[in-house]
Structure 1
Amino acid sequence: MPGRTLRARALSTRSAALATLGATIAMVVALIATGTLSFAHGRIGTGATELGDPDYGVCRGLDPDCYHDWGNFDPAKGYRILLYTHTAGPRHANLGPALATGLNPPITDANVVQKAMLKLGEQGGFQVDYTEDVTQLASPNTLFKYNAVVFFSTSRDALDDAAQTSLRQYVRGGGGFVGIHNAFGTEYNWPWYEGLLGNANFYDHGAAQPGTVQTMDRKDVSTKELPARWNFTDEWYNLVPAPTKVRVLAKVDESTLAKGVAGNYNHPGHGDNHPVAWCQYYDGGRSWVTTLGHDAKEFTTDGSFAGATEFQKLITGGIQSAAGMKPFCK
């Protein structure tokens, strides 16, 4: 009898242990499924607790293996980019009046960005088509005609479901993306797009004011012709989240901002590391972005606006590298 009692107790204890283990496994599976528990990049824990999950479930960062070279682009056909300036919210003055539907509709002198990008394309060796018509982005087959897609101060929900899917498939097929200025104020509620921006999003900005840009990486195509420091005037976006796993190409020296760094929603600024341009591989494609680009005068060529020449070199090189014309994110 005592032997049978001991065996029964042992079996009961073993059953309880197995039940506890099963419950633990079920809980872990549930946490992983809901994204609460993260094993990404060797982490075991609750992941980022303040600014969101920085992983986005895709291959991203500086490893060229994240790029999908699937033969969707033929350099022999030349290089074309699609400039997209659709605004579903605030519209920057340098975009001029809203454009008619279709591809390459009529523009006026007030459409400063569109006219300037056409000129930069001529100088930089790439053809520029432009549109604010979301239907022009509705098919990956259409986007694959372009070596890069440029979002210049788009705003809010600038894409519908079809265009979102198309852009994602395009990038996954090796497409290039360039985001300029209020591209950071676009598609706020789409995590994949936030990742495309480098795990970054616009939060607020202070007064538009002069400041000094520091060129951080002078080996990259977009920065190799820039001085170590150059003056520029912008809104100096504050970011939440701030970029991670990217190559920072330029930042603003916050000590040169006489009107301060605090934004209109009280962001305190980024201190010694306030990035304004960076690059990364993302989900099969290339992404080059800058928060600069607020003022129409940045496209002047007469020397009247400090930093205009440097800004134009920066974005031209960024487009060339994202489009595959020149080495990317080196």
Structure 2
Amino acid sequence: MLSKLLTLTLVAATLTATPAEPAYDVLVFSKTAGFRHDAIPAGIQAVRDLGAANDFTVTATEDAGAFTDLAGYEAVVFLNTTGDVLDDTQQAAFQSYVDGGGGYVGVHSAADTEYDWAYYGRLVGAYFKNHPAIQPATVRTEDRAHPATAHLGPAWTRTDEWYNYRANPRASVHVLQSLDEATYSGGDMGGDHPITWCHPQERGRAFYTGLGHTIESYADPAFRNVLLGGIRYAAGVAQADCRPENGYSALYDGSTAGWSQAGPGGFAEADATLTSQGGLGLLWYSAEELGSYSLKLDWRVTGDSNSGVFVGFPASDDPWSAVNNGYEVQIDATDAPDRTTGSIYGFQAADLAARDAALNPPGSWNTYELLVEGERLRVYLNGVLINDFTSTDPRRSLRQGHVGIQNHGDADVVSFRDIRVKRLSATVEGEACTAGGGVRVVRRASAGGGATLGRLDDGDWAGYERLSAQGATAFTARVRTTGVGGTVEVRAGTRAGPLLGTVAVPGRGGRERYRDVTTTLTGSASGPVHLVFKGRRGELFELDSFTLRYAR
């Protein structure tokens, strides 16, 4: 582990911005009306050094009059500002600048600034509350694709002054780093302690880090690269998905548990990153089928490499099954419009102008969001919608299926990180259970899929190994009510696992009468969904299908 951390530090020290970026201009503002940090001169020099190495010019000032004309700057850095530093006219000019497309970077006590200006509070994300003594702490990297944090490993131990904030900003910002409160004394945010974040602000971009109190911070190559990435994002020369992100669970975060390789080749794994090798194959998430969901993942290509993300395909150890039965969201720097990055391969090209504006070049990390709702698939690249596709192919459906990442060939090198999902809903045919006791499949022409799970008696059960109970908040079952009726228990993990909810099913509803019954689900249990059927003696009812809805 120590050798890994040393390697990461050396890598961080050599990072530079991607070549051939356009030159741009940055204003560093360090006016104070309260406590004044002795690190300000070191901070200004650090930004000047970064500018000289990365082709942006730096103007440093404590004259708030500069805010009346910010048109020449792509980003403004509030470097350890404190107190009320702008008058009403300057505030209005700065708000117009950011909302019109400008960039804001806040460093450390930028959160101890302009308490009476509500717009600034939204821009910085959170206000300073207090801090303990300067001490070491572990910083957890939550986003390893953003240009400010892509050079860091999952954990980073450093010494600084660690701010507590008046409110947790997570709901309205995209958290890049958080503090592990168990590794130091004085954290009071209840264990969820964001420390670096970003967010869009109208047409502009905002970035803040609570790091940067000490003079030593500004000589640290890893922290300098945090600043560089924040400036590049705020200036609009590096792209990132900075929309707030909540409710996702990891499919891959360094462990391939639940994943299966189909076909030759595969993925090498190092530093919680998967890198393709050999081909043509597919690493697919076999543990679960997904219905409506948001899938996010970070990817990076080397040169003109080829890969893709597949969705909506059935379980199979043949990689061509995903090609022939699902949809591929392409990753390829050069190809025909319907076969290049952001396209639904062979079906629909991306909006190429929007794609090109959102795309980071080969060698840099990008983030996809694939939003699947029914037969609709929307593709977001670094937070920008670049494709909106609806499936009309009768041989394919997005309503239920697996997801996977492609290893295309020996010469294609594509890396993936941080594959995560937010489940929105999933609809499953009752007879699609992967385990059960006492249940039978009954053919019914009137049923969805042509069959039900029928002849259910008291104590019968059905398990759905590829359907997760994690985050489920509601259960709706379509039932055929010809028996005596009963109840459905929704359990997690096993048929005797935690009870999430129970719903009653009325009896004797007519020969072909179907009805929906619904209940809310509570608890935080995980594992596959199991249904247990209870009731009096005799056939209870038939289960046609059911839908789980998940927390948004």
TM-score interval w.r.t. the shorter chain?
0.5 to 0.7
Larger helix share, 1 or 2: 1
How far does the alpha carbon of each residue in 1:281-324 deviate from its partner, in whole angstroms, 9 at most, with x for none? 11331101111110001122xxxxxxx22211111101001101
1:221 and 2:133 are equivalent in the alignment: no
2:55 is aligned to 125
1:55 is aligned to none
How far does the alpha carbon of each residue in 1:134-180 deviate from its partner, in whole angstroms, 9 at most, with x for none? 1111x2xx212100001010010011122101101101111100001
Q: Distance in 2 between matches of 1:280 and 1:85?
A: 22
Shift of 1:126: 1.4
Write out aligned runs for 1:38-57 (5 A): none
How far does the alpha carbon of each residue in 1:52-111 deviate from its partner, in whole angstroms, 9 at most, with x for none? xxxxxxxxxxxxxxxxxxxxxxx997211100000011100112xxxxxxxxxxxxxxx2
How far does the alpha carbon of each residue in 1:243-275 deviate from its partner, in whole angstroms, 9 at most, with x for none? 132110001111111xx125xxxxxx1233111
1:285 and 2:204 are equivalent in the alignment: yes
What secondary structure is seen at the aligned counterpart in 1 of 2:172? coil
1:61 is aligned to none
Shift of 1:133: 0.6
1:237 is aligned to 163
Which has the higher mean CA deviation after the structures are superposed, 289-298 or 238-247? 238-247
Q: Percent identity?
A: 41
Q: Is the 8 A contact 1:201 1:242 kept in 2?
A: no
Write out aligned runs for 1:183-198 (5 A): 183-198=110-125
Shift of 1:241: 2.0
Q: Is the 8 A contact 2:30 2:62 kept in 1?
A: yes
Counterpart among 248, 265, 286 of residue 175 in structure 2? 248
Structure 2 length-normalised TM: 0.39
1:295 and 2:295 are equivalent in the alignment: no
What secondary structure is seen at the aligned counterpart in 2 of 1:93? coil
1:154 is aligned to 81
Counterpart among 60, 83, 92 of residue 28 in structure 2? 83
Structure 1 length-normalised TM: 0.65
C-alpha spacing 1:166/1:205, structure 2 compared with 1 (3 Å): same
> Residue type matched to 1:117 in 2?
V
> Residue type matched to 2:27 in 1?
L
1:168 is aligned to 95
2:194 is aligned to 275
2:426 is aligned to none
Larger strand share, 1 or 2: 2
Q: Distance in 1 between matches of 2:21 and 2:51?
A: 17
1:113 and 2:43 are equivalent in the alignment: yes
> Residue type matched to 1:239 in 2?
Y
Instruction: Point out where structure 2 has 5 or more consecutive residues left out of the alignment.
Output: 1-19, 243-381, 383-552
1:203 and 2:132 are equivalent in the alignment: no
1:136 and 2:81 are equivalent in the alignment: no
Coordinate RMSD, CA, aligned: 1.6
When the two structures are aligned, how many residues end up with a matched partner? 222
2:435 is aligned to none
Instruction: Point out where structure 1 has 5 or more consecutive residues left out of the alignment.
Output: 1-74, 96-110, 263-268, 301-307
What secondary structure is seen at the aligned counterpart in 2 of 1:87? coil
How far does the alpha carbon of each residue in 1:207-260 deviate from its partner, in whole angstroms, 9 at most, with x for none? 111111111110111111111111111111111122132110001111111xx1
> Residue type matched to 1:219 in 2?
A
Q: Is the 8 A contact 1:152 1:181 kept in 2?
A: yes
Q: Distance in 2 between matches of 1:76 and 1:203?
A: 38
Q: Distance in 2 between matches of 1:237 and 1:77?
A: 35
Counterpart among 230, 233, 239 of residue 327 in structure 1? 239
Q: Distance in 2 between matches of 1:135 and 1:324?
A: 24
1:30 is aligned to none
C-alpha spacing 1:76/1:180, structure 2 compared with 1 (3 Å): closer
